[in-house]
Structure 1
């Protein structure tokens, strides 16, 4: 596990997504910052110093600064990877043995009128995400394609806030005790994922979960920062992006596959959310 004193939170640098092709392997290098790698699809084979890791779907690995790492084996299929680079102020971290923990291990000192509360986060260096959909949403927020027309001076600050929330979620993952709010959010996300190809009706979601629509909305906003309607759009476009990269299907076909019959509306929505048209996105990611 990686032990980190909080505050201050680790500092987000940058992040992105790449598709490791079959027959390729990760770089051989020593990096001066932390590198979090999350696998959405496929399998990544990495070695840090003398320890080897097989990172599969829903799993992550945090590579520690100034340690040698490399791919020790070729990818056996196309592998979808999200990566984040971050630093810890003054390199103030320790590597400790894995252990079962709860908040009593992490919460070190109560706040006073003049001093903040103190924590010692204990984050597994390698792990399987239990609340995969919620965590992927946080990761996706950090790697969204920058939209030139929407770019603002506070963009980096917003990403830093999102990264801090991601770290809190990683700590909660280590406890493996979801809150009531997270449970409602997970159920809502599961419903949307099961029925995304059908027209979305908030009333149907409310009836399925047996909660008031406003309560479901508050739970989702608190957990993933999105309303149900926003998540429907996010989920559909995320699937569309994968299909654009991994297939040669026409845009109209992909739009229908993700539950949007009007291809013109789909293209406008895609451009609004991603800053690129569907075909521009395909060419950019494929580097055509």
Structure 2
């Protein structure tokens, strides 16, 4: 797989992020940017051409478009296709066909007491994301303009760097046993978040002991199965709050939570605002 290589530090610089939807039959516009354009498809398939090379980018996949190269939709989407986009700047880069198989291989120069170690990140131009919830969480934070009076605007560069490192690590394609269990558990919970999934159900589905599954998720993802399920639910709740006029009870039931009061309490704990306040903020942003 062709890769784009960056020498870090310093890291590329985050510029802006957003999201959009191509309706069935629509295609990407013809453009040439002076910066990198990272597109991550959440659902559907995007057909795009860059420099005479055509790509099909499906749900859970990303493509890294390079500055100075024309890109455009090669054909219309066959279904409604939702996606995130992210622009970042980096003048020093090169294209390569090899490298980037492990961290040791990426080490370019060892550090000293006065100079940092330098690495050469080698990101595939197109890749499949193993942890889509992490990607969506990072994008949601990078797009959040409701917290301009907090430290979030200053932390967006850090969140962006975490995203790049995540893509680099996943490109190694050598997950540990614990990572595989954690990702399998996360995938199962994403598919069944509307149901009452107990840790016993999860253990039975994955064929691992309950304690081991929980420990793997905590060590790899930093959350318990229950906390992960709630994150998935809150992500879906935000989508419903911004795209429908459904009442809180309906949204709570849709995401698998029977108690609207507990849903509102958990949403505020997670997002910092109540569901009603979030809907008002989003509606003002759309206007």
- Scaled to the shorter chain, the TM-score interval is 0.7 to 0.9
Q: Cα distance 1:142–1:157, how it changes in 2: closer, same or farther (>3 A)?
A: farther
> Which residue, 245, 251, 255 being the options, matches 1:258?
255
> Which residue, 28, 43, 46 being the options, matches 2:45?
43
Residue correspondence of structure 1 range 1-288 to structure 2 within 5 A = 1-88=3-90, 91-97=91-97, 101-129=101-129, 131=130, 134-144=131-141, 146=144, 148=146, 150-198=147-195, 208-211=209-212, 216-221=217-222, 226-243=223-240, 250-270=247-267, 273=271, 275=273, 277=276, 280=279, 284=283, 287=286
The Cα offsets for residues 40-74 of structure 1, whole Å up to 9 and x where unpaired, read as 11111112122221111111111111221122222
Using the TM superposition, name which of 45-54 and 184-193 deviates more: 184-193
How large is the RMSD of aligned CA atoms in angstroms? 3.3
Counterpart CA distance in 1 for 2:54 and 2:213 is: 48
Q: Cα distance 1:168–1:34, how it changes in 2: closer, same or farther (>3 A)?
A: same
Counterpart CA distance in 2 for 1:212 and 1:8 is: 37
Gaps of 5+ in 1: none
Gaps of 5+ in 2: none
The Cα offsets for residues 117-159 of structure 1, whole Å up to 9 and x where unpaired, read as 1111111111222x1xx244134223235364x5445213322
The Cα offsets for residues 149-174 of structure 1, whole Å up to 9 and x where unpaired, read as x5445213322222212111211222
Cα contact 2:100–2:121 (8 A) shared by 1 = no
- Aligned pairs, how many? 278
Counterpart CA distance in 2 for 1:27 and 1:281 is: 31
- SS at 2:164 equivalent: helix
- SS at 2:5 equivalent: strand
The TM-score, its normalising length taken from structure 2, stands at 0.81
Cα contact 2:101–2:171 (8 A) shared by 1 = yes
Q: Cα distance 1:263–1:153, how it changes in 2: closer, same or farther (>3 A)?
A: closer
- SS at 1:31 equivalent: coil
The TM-score, its normalising length taken from structure 1, stands at 0.81
Cα contact 1:48–1:63 (8 A) shared by 2 = yes
Counterpart CA distance in 1 for 2:181 and 2:268 is: 31
